[in-house]
Amino acid sequence: MVAEAFVIDKMGGAIGANGVMTRAHVDEYVRMVEGRQRANAHKFVGTDPHLRQAWLVVKMGCGACSHFDSCSVKETGQANQARIRLFTYSEIVRLCVDAKRNPTATELRGTRERVMNFFDSDGVHIGFVDLPAEGEPIGPPVLLIHGFASNHKINWVQTGWVSFLREHGRRVIALDNRGHGESEKLYDVEAYTTSRMARDARNLMQHLHISQVDVIGYSMGARISALLTLAAPDLVRRLVLGGLGYRLVDGDGLPQNLADAMEAADASTLQDPVERMFRVFAERTGSDRRALAACIRGSRQVVSVEELARIRARTLVAIGTKDPIAGDGRALVALLPFGQALDIPGRDHNLAVGDKTFKAGVLEFLDAP
């Protein structure tokens, strides 16, 4: 049974890399919470008035709650645990309702970028964010589709894409692909065909009653975006394929051995640098590696030259000049009826994502008549 529950914000660099809270961080937060108003279990505490990152710390007795990741906390006199996870906008509202009060503007301000909504996509629970433009909206919404082993936060929020697009008048929608982030984890290889993942994106647009959208996909997300455009040509106005070039045609995605890398007992045993890079990245993001292994085995769909010729949306192919994974961008552009290339100077597959040249080039492409 829950004894007390507190929401605490992200205070400077106190939270570890990529939002991972260590035992020391939890101990520090528990001490901080205990120094505040213990009588109010729903008291929002912390020094950041914008609550840019809200975390729920629930002090529990011996009972376990399967919905939270657990972390032991040093307690004097009793063996309690603290359970930590991201606290969503809707949950903040619900807690406030439970506490018989309305959430204040301070409590809600800044949480919108972290608000996860969910919908059912052919029986799969898919998480997404839907954020309004800042100021006067310009053009259709932008749908962001992330790459393998990533999620919408890492691929698009932390790299500045979400704030960049919103500041330039765009409504932004970003989903966590199935098997990633806060979306449902599946372990059947057949659940991860690229066409099924593209259907998740299409279902999301239908769920939001959006009839036209600009789509930006990166790496695996670019492959999904291409399949989405083929399946729903009237939906996609402009298409951006980031981190994926001719491999869309002559390769079936990331190396098949990545699945084995996800399942390896220890990342230090991996010799291939690409396998090791993605395995370490998956660990750093707290990903479900079993689901990722199924994903990489299932999402092997290529797009034929004939299919590329059917893509009528204007398409920007953006690749880092030091990217060894994507394949030749200009070779892909040559096969697209309305394609153009964008080189991202000096960037590899990972560093190209948040590059300012990439952002500026995409904005110019989207805003062009």
Most confident region among 22-26, 105-109, 292-296 by mean pLDDT: 292-296
Question: What token pair was written down for 73?
Answer: 């906390």
| Residue bearing the bigger pLDDT, 262 or 16 | 262
What is each CA distance from 71 to 27, 36, 82, 325, in whole angstroms?
10, 22, 6, 37
Q: What are phi and psi of 68, to 5 degrees?
A: -115, 150
Lowest average pLDDT, out of 97-101, 161-165, 243-247, 343-347, goes to: 97-101
Most confident region among 112-121, 154-163, 272-281, 310-319 by mean pLDDT: 310-319
Domain annotation for the chain: domains and CATH numbers: 2-108 (no CATH), 116-367 (3.40.50.1820)
Lowest average pLDDT, out of 79-93, 104-118, 300-314, goes to: 79-93
Question: What token pair was written down for 220?
Answer: 């695996």
| 336 vs 313: CA distance, rounded Å | 9
For residue 79, give the nearest of 61, 66, 64 by alpha carbon: 61
| 262 vs 284: CA distance, rounded Å | 13
For the chain, the farthest-separated pair of C-alpha atoms sits apart, in whole angstroms, at 70
pLDDT at 252: 58
pLDDT at 253: 62
How confident is residue 342, by pLDDT bands cut at 50, 70 and 90?
very high
The pTM for the full model equals 0.71
Using the structure block, give the residue that is written with the tokens 């809200």.
54
| Residue bearing the bigger pLDDT, 38 or 250 | 250
DSSP designation for 190: G
pLDDT at 110: 43
Question: Alpha helices, DSSP H only, in the chain?
Answer: 23-34, 89-98, 105-108, 152, 161-167, 194-207, 220-231, 247-250, 258-263, 273-284, 289-298, 305-308, 329-333, 356-367
Instruction: Give 82-110 pLDDT, tens digit per residue.
Output: 333 334 434 444 444 444 444 444 444 44
DSSP string, 11-25: -TT-S-GGGPPPHHH
